[in-house]
Amino acid sequence: MKALILGGARSGKSRLAEQWAGHWQQRSPQHEVVYIATSEPADAELNTRVASHQARRPSEWLLIEEPLELATVLRREAHPQRCLLVDCLTLWLTNLLMLEDDARLQVELQALTECLTALPGRVLLVSNETGLGVVPMGALTRRYVDEAGLLHQALAQCCDPVVLTVAGLPHFLKGTQPDD
């Protein structure tokens, strides 16, 4: 199962992904959860957010920090008895955009979409839905919103379920809540 969980800031998307991963692990204790963090904390506010996420996670979950080569990590870590939880795709996209290397951006985006369906086990992809607000004034910010929207469209084709989280409530855009 591959799930795409979208939502705005503080919408509950990460908490939902963590709940699903924890539920699977409780039902089958042999299942491992690998949390793949993509952020590179750059300021006190982001450090606080990271600490909040860390405090919520069970200590037995494995942690991999990977800001750029997400597909490589997913291919390496995927296993039928594992749940890979990626948080968050839009931070990963930002990291790639900040490299100012269009070729690298396209390689990493393509690698992610190509590897996803073939991965064994469960994959939970958490991402910020940025296309519901005003059109940003700056060129880089507009590009970020455009690239995030295109990424979400491509991943939605590969994932089931696809969930939009609003006010802590999941709204299923595709599929239903997984029960295993």
Query: Hey, which residues are catalytic here?
Result: 53
Q: Which residues make beta-bridge pairs with 37? A: 65, 87
- Whole-number Å distance between alpha carbons of 59 and 88: 20
Residue carrying the six token digits 């590969």: 158
- Whole-number Å distance between alpha carbons of 83 and 62: 10
Residue carrying the six token digits 């037995």: 60
- Whole-number Å distance between alpha carbons of 14 and 72: 22
